[in-house]
Amino acid sequence: MMTATGEEYELITRSKNGDRQAFGDLVSLHQQGVINVVYRMSGDRNHAEDAAQEAFVRAWQKLPSYRPVGSFRGWLYRIATNIAIDMLRREKQTEDVDDHLIKDPSSGVEKKIMQRQKSEIVKKAVLSLPTASRSVLVLREYESLSYQEIAETLEIPIGTVMSRLNYARKTLRSTLVELLEEE
Amino acid sequence: MSKHIDAQIQAYFDGELNGKNRKKAEAHLKDCDKCQQGLNELSHLSSILQADLKISQKANSDKFVSQVMLRLPRKVRQTWWQKFGKTAYMLIPALLLLVLIFHRTTNFSNNLLLGADLLGIGEEEISTLLSAPVLTNVEIPFPLPTLDMFDAGGSMWLSLGNINVFGIDLSNSFIYPLIFGLLSISWMIGWWVTQEQKQKLKN
């Protein structure tokens, strides 16, 4: 089980006492991870930062009830995951891949388009996974959380983490078979 | 060659196997092409998934932090027990004052009764008050406090013990006021420290 480091623990304690500056440092420390989790879960880059900010605001409000027994990062990611799921419920329709490419100002360069197209296919494949297995995959593949941390973050047993991860990877292997064979 | 280790390949790939299990898996992977292929597929999939990781790492750190800070509500929401603790702490001085008033009043009224008794004023009523137990005809499972519990110069506090030095009752004239004073000072120090911390946080 990964707990907060000494410096992080001090920042958490000060934040719990209402120290906004300490909380700002915590935001700075975890912003990229939280943005990534929201983005990977929702697939919406435009709203990922906004949702990540919302996650931090919610974390600030929930801080008094935070107990430093598990990883602070995991606790934050749980909030971020829930916000991403809420966001998906609100916006059921996802952005169309082609539309996105037309809007892309960097679409002049062919190589970049190819790269972007590939990442859009990957993004779509990840987004097509059920939320439960997608959460596990995002936390493992993009945030490199251990099985134990994922279990704590999502409040599920380690066995479930493994089976969901296995399911997500198997599904992706068959969805992305063309990409996998290409490279 | 041992059986295929499909179930362990994922855990091995994610670095979740330790010690013996890890060594076992490594030894098997050396000899088994099928399991090695499974491991390669996991690795390949992982590299594809992470290929566009850089795309999302564009957030302007300072701007993001300041935007979050602007959205934060002014006060951290307090849990009910924190609110209760705060209220209880603020009620301590009032409680101490009530205890002091109670102590001084019972002390004063007892002295007054004893003084009247010595002077022979209202002799009959006072002796009744000082000696008669309350509710003598009713059976009760616990002793009720009566005025006869408050002996010379005493009060209900004396049920906790009487301290006499050279005939002077220290429990009333010294010990209890001292306890009250110390508790009040401790409370004031606690309050001052909290205020100082709040001030520091504001700055």
Q: Give yes or no: residues B45 and B89 share one domain.
A: no
Is residue B185 situated within a structural domain? yes
Domain that holds residue B186: 80-202
Q: B84 with B18, same domain? A: no
Q: Could you tell me if B73 lies within 8 Å of chain A, comparing CB atoms? A: yes
Is A27 in contact with B69 (Cβ distance < 8 A)?
yes
B119 interfacial to chain A (CB closer than 8 Å): no
Task: Please write the tens of the pLDDT for every residue from B55-98.
Answer: 555 556 788 888 888 888 876 566 677 778 888 888 888 888 88
DSSP single-letter state for residue A70: S
* CATH (residue range A6-94+128-182): 1.10.1740.10
3-state DSSP call for residue B152?
coil
The answer to whether the CB atoms of B14 and A140 lie below 8 A apart is: yes
Into how many domains does chain B fold?
2
Chain B residue nearest residue A54, CA to CA = B68
**Closest B-chain CA to A62:** B77
Q: Are A32 and B11 an interchain contact pair (Cβ–Cβ within 8 Å)?
A: no
pLDDT, residue B200, reads 63
Residue B15 φ/ψ region, left for φ over 0, alpha for ψ in the -120 to 50 degree band, beta for the rest: left
Mean pLDDT of A143-166: 92
Residue B163 at interface with chain A, using a CB cutoff of 8 Å? no
How many angstroms separate the Cα of B45 from the Cα of each of A97, A131, A172, B39, B49? 21, 19, 8, 10, 6
Which residue in the set A18, A20, A165 is minimally distant from B10, CB to CB? A165
- B193 and B94 together in one domain: yes
Query: Is A57 within 8 Å of B16 when comparing Cβ atoms?
Result: no
ipTM above 0.95, yes or no: no
Residues B153 and B92 in one domain: yes
Whether A61 sits inside 8 A of B76 (CB atoms) is yes
Check whether residue B11 and residue B109 sit in a common domain.
no
Model pLDDT for residues B162-172, shown as the tens digit of each residue: 555 555 566 66
